[in-house]
Structure 1
Amino acid sequence: MMTDQNNDPTTGIDLDKQPHKSILKRIDLGLATGMCALLISFVGIVTSRATFKMNQETQKARVLPIIDVDMGYENIGDRSEAAFVVRLNNVGAGIAHIQRVTPLKNGEPVTTLQEFEDTIMNRRMRSNIGYPVVAPAAGFLAAGKSVTPRRYRMGAAGSELGAYLRGEYGVPMDGLDIDVCYCSVFSDCWTVKYLDKKLPKPVDSCGIDDAPEDMFQTYIDQTAAKRLEQ
């Protein structure tokens, strides 16, 4: 008896015989179903991620701090109330962690209190003013609140204020700026400057969280050290 050359000698299965069409259809249907399931899973992941991102951005917007810097002379027309003020206002919706505050003159840090005061008034005016109201600028500032690191009430010095602001003793507050860096509770951070008059600029960080750079606190320390020397 001759053996069909197209049959497997051990199983007798015809090797040339094509799979039944119904089997091929089931394979195609299973493959299509698997691909659809994979596509649906992928779309679900993308949608979930987009939803999470949107919810996160919504939460960030609800606690977004915005620091506005005020600096200059107030109540100029009323000698008894005239004052030079530096004030930081949180006009946003959330707590601001103010980490760095630096007065600048022509872009360079003002590192001494004497240099700062020489930029905002002449020395004769300063001699007619008592101790200013002072406070640290760095720290946590709630929404809708303000902190005033420096306030000089003019008093007797108010008699020269008009002449000072007219430039009779030089350019008033020549090149003076305030640079502030602050973060939200989500650790998103921004910088803002008084002279820029622009929206706060996003930055990666304000430096080391536990080491604030507050030049107004430095001025307080310098004053305390000077008193101890007297």
Structure 2
Amino acid sequence: MTTGYSFKNPEMIIAGSALIVSLITAFVSTYSASIDRAYARASVWPRVEIQRSYNDSRSFFYYMVSNKGTGPAVVKHARLSYDNKAVKSWPDYLQLRSGRTVGHVQSQIGSLVLSAGESTKPMELRDAEVAKLLADQDNLQIELCYCSIYDECWMVNRANNPIPVAQCTIEDKERFLQ
């Protein structure tokens, strides 16, 4: 005599219930891991912004780069251009704009790490004539490529609208060296 298996047997009901519970648990675990990864990325999301400031009464002009995000920004490279020509350094740019050597203070922006809430002034000057010139006709194009600690990268320019990019690449002839 052969025994037949029926879905009405208690063993089959228990096995089917265990299978369904296992599938639901696997789905919930996968979904939860996905949410955790998204939360981890969002908790360290950098947002780099470029500003400039001019004060006529104090005769100063400066650029500032700030990280307004929640995590560190790893700046991979900077590209500065004026009249579609790559600018290699602040002294080159100031010479090009004013026709003379201009005293200024500068900081590195081509490769640095900005913590959340941190700012740096890549260039500041206190020459009244040049400060006014830069404030009136500032056609300098600045682009920074930066990444999060998860290697998610963005390109930002002075419009401060970060554009996601696959990676930060630049030709050496276009790289800003300071």
TM-score range, shorter chain: 0.7 to 0.9
- Cα deviation, 1:173-192, whole Å, max 9, x if unaligned, reads 23x21111111122221111
Matched, 1:55 2:36: yes
- Alignment partner of 1:215 is 2:170: no
Paired-residue identity, %: 22
CA deviation after TM superposition for structure 1 residue 216, in Å: 4.2
Q: Which has the higher helix share?
A: 1
TM (norm. structure 1) is 0.63
Structural RMSD (CA): 3.3
Contact preservation (8 Å) 1:136, 1:214: no
Distance in 1 separating the partners of 2:163 and 2:135: 33
Q: CA, structure 1 residues 26+47, in 2 after alignment: closer, same or farther (shift >3 Å)?
A: closer
2:54–2:135 CA contact under 8 A, matched in 1? no
1:32–1:204 CA distance, 2 compared to 1 (3 A): farther
Q: How many residues align?
A: 175
1:122 matched to 2:98? The reply is yes
Shift of 1:90: 0.7
In 1, Cα distance between the equivalents of 2:125 and 2:134?
17
Alignment of 1:1-230 (within 5 A): 19=2, 23-25=4-6, 30=11, 33-71=14-52, 73-76=53-56, 78=57, 81-105=58-82, 109-111=86-88, 116-117=93-94, 121-123=97-99, 126-127=100-101, 129-130=102-103, 132-137=104-109, 138-155=111-128, 157=129, 161=132, 165=136, 172-174=137-139, 176-194=140-158, 196-198=159-161, 200-207=162-169, 215-217=176-178
Residue 30 to residue 216, structure 1, CA distance change in 2 (3 Å):
same
What do residues 24-68 of structure 1 show as CA deviations (whole Å, max 9, x unaligned)? Answer: 326866555444433332221221111112122222222211101
Aligned mates of 1:197, 1:31 — CA distance in 2: 62
What is the CA-CA distance between 1:115 and the residue it aligns to? Answer: 5.4
Query: Which structure has the larger Rg over C-alpha atoms?
Result: 1
CA contact (8 A) 1:96 1:182 kept: yes
Larger % of strand: which? 2
| CA distance in 1: counterparts of 2:36 and 2:84, whole angstroms | 39
- Any unmatched runs of 5+ in structure 2? none
Distance change >3 Å, CA 107–CA 57, structure 1 → 2: farther
Normalising by the residue count of structure 2, what TM-score does the alignment of the two structures yield?
0.78
Q: Which has the higher contact order (CA 8 A, sep 6+)?
A: 2
